[in-house]
Structures are given as C-alpha cells and as structure tokens.
Structure 1
Amino acid sequence: MKLIDDAHLVWHRLWSVRFAILAALFGLAAQLQDNLPLIQSFVTPKEFAALSILCGVASALSRVVKQASLPGGSQ
C-alpha cells in the first residue's frame, strides 16, 4: 500500500477524509439521539442515518477526484 506523498501534512485537506468524518459523526448522532433531547425536535434518527449514508457515498466518490489545491494535484 502506497500512501499519498506528505499525507501527514495534507490529510485534513482531503475531501474524502472530511466526508468520512462527517459520516461517522452523523452515524454517532443517530445512535446517541435519545440522549440528546435538544436535537430530537429538529432531526429524526432516519435523517441522521440518511446524512451518514450520503456522506459515506460522497467520501467514496471524492476519493477518485483529483484535488488541484494539494501538492501534486494539478498534474
């Protein structure tokens, strides 16, 4: 397995990583929603699950898109 050059410097700028973190947070929120009464009135667990799935798909799709803002991204 070969990592992206300078991955330790750019991992936070990768869209796939950002979407993966969002998917995890939405999934966690869906699980913890019973303990978060302020959120219950605004968002249902199904909506959190849908957001998690959408972010997971976006993470997979963004993995194949070249990002010009990264070192070597404009090649």
Structure 2
Amino acid sequence: MTIVSDWRCVLKRAWSVRLIVFAALFSSAEVALPFLGDFISPGRMAALSALATAGAIFARILAQKDMKYGT
C-alpha cells in the first residue's frame, strides 16, 4: 500500500472521506446517547452511521470531478 501523492487534496475534497467523518460523528453520538436521555431514539444514530458508511463505500468507487486519478 502506498499513499497517493496528492493526499491532502483527497482529504479535503473526496466525498468518501467526508462520509467517513460523518459516520464517525454518528458513532460517537451513539455512545453519548445514554447521557441524552429520551432525546433521540436508540437506533437512530447507529442507522445514520451505517448509511454514511455505505455512502462512503459507494462514493469511493465513483470517479469524482476535480480529483486527480478519479479518487
């Protein structure tokens, strides 16, 4: 495995990276749910995290505009 030469550009612009960040935020919110009480239903953040992760997988295989090598 090697790091792509324009990794900074990939971190800033790739939708797959953005969706992975959202998935991490939703997973973190799932951990915080016991402290929020009945504000959010228990499985909602887990479902959002799963959707964001699935979207990241899909976004990763698509060629993205303005990205070198279609990353």
Which TM-score applies when normalising by structure 1?
0.78
CA deviation profile, 1:44-64 (whole Å, cap 9, x unmatched): 120110000011111111111
Runs of at least 4 residues off by over 6 Å: none
In structure 2, what residue type is equivalent to 1:57? A
Of all paired residues, the percent bearing the same amino acid is 33
The separation in 1 between residues aligned to 2:49 and 2:68, in whole angstroms, is: 29
**1:68 maps onto 2:56 in alignment:** no
CA deviation profile, 1:17-64 (whole Å, cap 9, x unmatched): 111110011011011112235xx42x3120110000011111111111
1:19-58 → structure 2 map (5 Å cutoff): 19-37=19-37, 40-41=38-39, 43-58=40-55
Aligned residue pairs total 70
Please report the RMSD computed on the Cα atoms of aligned residues, expressed in angstroms. 1.7
Gaps of 5+ in 1: none
The separation in 1 between residues aligned to 2:14 and 2:62, in whole angstroms, is: 10
